[in-house]
Amino acid sequence: MELNLDTGKLIVFVAGLLIFLGLETIAPARPHIHRLRRIGFHGGVAVLNTVTIRLFAYVPFLLWLVHVEEEGWGISRWLGLVGWAEILLSLVVLDFFDYLWHRANHRVRWLWRFHKAHHADTAMDVTTALRFHPGELLISAGIKALWVVIWGPTVVAWFLFEALVSFCAQFHHSNIDFPDWIERWLAWFIVTPRFHASHHAVDRRTGNANFSTIFSLWDVIFTSYARPPGRTARRSEPLGLPEARALAFSALAWIDEPFRRRNLEIDNR
Ligand SMILES: [Zn+2]
């Protein structure tokens, strides 16, 4: 069953990539810059990350997931949740954990050293969703093992959550220009491209906000919501970290940056 779920996740990933690549070609919010170079670089990052995770984290994580379900550990099990109720509630609770984790990545200095690789991108499109430092993903895998034992999602719920996170991340990083009314309506429920572009803004007043991944309500509840600029202002909104411009497309500098003594300390708090 795990194999089918894994294939399903891959299909969702490829479909999302193609759908959003297509939509941002038809209706871009900002002009595309160095598009082929971006696809090449971020595609390379994705391959490196997939190999790293498959080598070091995938099998132990899967065994852990199955073991926790078999033992019946976690809050969801104690509450006796089953079927769709378990799946839906697991999606909400795991997304909440993800929100807290994303905030920690901005708040805790050594975590930020890794997460910065994602934010060093000076533009934003669907390929930005592939741009994560392998170190961040490995640390995340450890943290997610903790979420699993705390909440106790079923294996099915976990795979659905992962597929949804990947699809939503592709969506909200994409460079799609929606009319104001669609953006505003969607943003009531889920994280939209404009909502998340604010999180990548050079202006850290809005950059230190809008941490949600799937559901937008966490930022509202925990007062980390910043209203994104309107459609026209957004076209020229500077994105990324100007201090880390050198990291944008240099593979080597990008990989070893978190470990350097003289790390580019960017005040992000
Ligand atoms: Zn972030």
Residues 6+ apart with CB under 8 A from 7: none
Residue 4 CA, ligand 1 centroid: distance in Å: 31
Ligand 1 center from residue 101 Cα (angstroms): 10
Do the Cβ atoms of 76 and 94 come closer than 8 Å?
Answer: no
pLDDT digits (tens, 9 = 90+) for 143-183: 999 999 999 999 999 999 999 999 999 999 999 999 889 99
SS3 (DSSP) at 225:
coil
- In a domain? residue 201: yes
Q: Single out the residue of 211, 223, 213, 209 nearest to residue 190, CA to CA.
A: 213
Residue 12 within a domain: yes
Is 137 inside a domain boundary?
A: yes
Distance (angstroms) between ligand 1 centre and the Cα of 102 equals 6
> How many A from CA of 219 to the centre of ligand 1?
13
Q: How far is the CA of 77 from the centre of ligand 1 (A)?
A: 31
Exposure on the CB side of residue 142, measured as CA atoms within 13 A: 6
CA of 73 to the centre of ligand 1 (A): 31
Averaged pLDDT for residues 125-153: 97
Ligand 1 centroid–CA 265 distance in Å is 16
What is the rounded distance in angstroms from the CA atom of residue 98 to the CA atom of residue 144?
9
**Torsion sign across C-alpha atoms 69, 160, 191, 201:** positive
- CA of residue 230 to ligand 1 center, whole Å: 21
Say what the pLDDT of residue 232 is: 62
213 CA → ligand 1 middle, Å: 10
Distance CA 129, CA 213 (A): 11
* Ligand 1 mean position, distance from CA 248 (Å): 15
What share of the chain has pLDDT > 90, as a percent?
A: 70
User: Which has more confidence, 212 or 249?
Assistant: 212
Backbone angles phi, psi at 127, to 5 degrees: -70, -20
How far apart CA 235 and CA 158 sit, in angstroms, is 36
Does residue 130 fall inside a structural domain?
yes
Per-residue CA distances from 122 to 75, 100, 136, 197, 238 (Å): 41, 25, 19, 11, 8
This model's pTM is above 0.85: yes
> Which of 257, 260, 228 lies closest to 245 in space, CA to CA?
257
Residue 177 CB neighbours (<10 A) = 18
Q: Residue 118: what pLDDT?
A: 92
Print the domain residue range for 159. Answer: 2-259
Percent of the chain having pLDDT more than 70?
89
Q: What is the pLDDT of residues 187-236, one digit of tens each?
A: 999 999 999 998 988 776 666 899 999 999 999 999 999 888 766 656 66
Rounded distance, CA 221 to CA 145, Å? 26
What's the per-residue H, E or C state across 189-237?
CECCHHHHHHHCECCHHHHCCCCCCCECHHHHHCCCCCCCCCHHHHHCC
Residue 115 forms part of a structural domain: yes
263 pLDDT band (50/70/90 cuts)? low
The interaxial angle of helices 109-119 and 83-107, nearest 10 deg, is 100
Total structural domains within the chain: 1
pLDDT band at 269 (very low <50, low <70, confident <90, very high): very low
At 61-94, the pLDDT tens digits run 999 999 999 999 999 999 999 999 999 999 999 9
pLDDT recorded at residue 243: 67
Measured in degrees and rounded to the nearest 5, phi and psi for residue 256 equal: -95, 0
Mean pLDDT over each residue of the chain, to the nearest integer: 90
> According to the model, what pLDDT value does residue 240 have?
79
* Any domain includes 264: no
Is 268 a domain residue?
A: no
Whole-number pLDDT of residue 211: 95
- 241 CA distance to ligand 1 centroid (A)? 11
Whether residue 168 lies inside any domain: the answer is yes
